[in-house]
Amino acid sequence: MYVRLTFLNFLPGKAKEAKRIYNAELVPVVKQQKGNLDCRLLEPVDEAHDYISMTTWESKEQADAYQASGVYSQLVNRVKEFYAKDPVLKVYSTENVLEPA
């Protein structure tokens, strides 16, 4: 499984609108991408920290295909007017963990 984390820092007073657009417009598009398992926005408890857009993917190939398709760039640009600084993307791999029966 692959996890893509995009660290976002919004301008003062713009986070509420950015979150609305993220949940209403961006999440449905990401969830339609082949191999996507989840898409969510992590909100910082400490206002000094970044928001994190987290997407999880079945495989590296599917995460890479999403990136290569240009959809990621389009979605990031959808809320760029709200950014205090450029977003930072970090990608991680993880093993699937089975829940105890």
Check pLDDT > 90 for residue 22. Answer: yes
- Give the number of other Cβ atoms within 10 Å of residue 88's Cβ: 12
pLDDT of residue 17: 97
3, 2, 8, 1: which is closest to 75 by C-alpha? 8
Burial of 41 (0-12, 13-18, 19+ CB in 10 A): middle
Summarize the confidence of residues 20-25 as an average pLDDT: 97
Check pLDDT > 60 for residue 97. Answer: no
**How much is the pTM?**
0.89
Q: What are phi and psi of 29, to 5 degrees?
A: -70, -45
CA dist 47 and 37 (Å) reads 28
pLDDT band at 47 (very low <50, low <70, confident <90, very high): confident
Domain limits of the chain? 2-93
Summarize the confidence of residues 22-34 as an average pLDDT: 97
Q: What are phi and psi of 26, to 5 degrees?
A: -80, -45
H helices within the chain, ranges in order?
Answer: 15-21, 27-31, 60-68, 71-78
Residues 61/19, Cβ–Cβ less than 8 Å: no
Q: Is the domain 2-93 a CATH 3.90.1150.10 member?
A: no
